[in-house]
Amino acid sequence: MREPVTAYLGLGANLGDARAAVVQAMEDIGRADGVRLTARSALYRTAPVDSSGPDYINAVVEVHTVLTAPALLHCLHGIEAAAGRARPYRNAPRTLDLDILLFGESQIASLHLSVPHPRMEQRAFVLVPLAEIAPHRVDARALRAVLEQAIERID
């Protein structure tokens, strides 16, 4: 068996009962084979960035996993599909969006996966909840750079 890797996952939704979808996704991630949920941020409300539709509910979770990054991504896609995720076009509003933000110290650039997430340092909805549960993983300059983006902690 592989040594567990600490990964950070971004969660977001803005269609249907977005809050319930994010909370359910946290539970589903925690029940996934080969994954152990070890920390979760509060929920945050944010306006869409490079997207449209209602405000998003966002969060970040920390997991320890024995899965490879592609296997973890496959698992996350299954959770998204179970939540009714459709991908009609890039950055479409969504019932659930799950992203691998960080996977240990890995740097991955493949057709289907980029780690660290390529736009995470430009988004308050990622950096603020990540800083809440893993401040050592967030560059203070990057966090200051997104402070003008509206984000509201809702729990």
The structure tokens listed for 61 are: 């979770």
- 146: number of Cβ within 10 Å: 17
The one-letter amino acid code at 133 reads I
Spell out the per-residue pLDDT of the chain, length 155, in tens: 689 999 999 999 998 899 999 999 999 999 999 999 999 999 999 988 776 678 999 999 999 999 999 999 999 999 998 887 665 445 556 779 999 999 999 999 998 899 998 889 999 999 999 999 999 999 999 999 998 999 999 98
Which of 94, 123, 137, 141 is an active site residue? 94
Burial 66-86 (b: 16+ CB within 10 A, else e): ebebeebbebbeebbeebebe
Which of 28, 40, 45, 97 is an active site residue? 97
Which of 40, 45, 85, 123 is an active site residue? 85
Which of 2, 99, 139, 153 is an active site residue? 99
- All structural domains of the chain: 5-153 (3.30.70.560)
Provide the phi-psi class of 16: left if phi over 0, else alpha when psi is between -120 and 50, else beta.
left
Does residue 99 carry a catalytic annotation? yes
Task: From 75, 18, 65, select the one nearest 43 (Cα to Cα).
Answer: 18
The one-letter amino acid code at 116 reads P
Does residue 97 carry a catalytic annotation? yes
Give the three-class secondary structure for 146: coil
Say what the pLDDT of residue 91 is: 57
Task: From 152, 63, 151, 145, select the one nearest 101 (Cα to Cα).
Answer: 63
d(CA 81, CA 97): 10
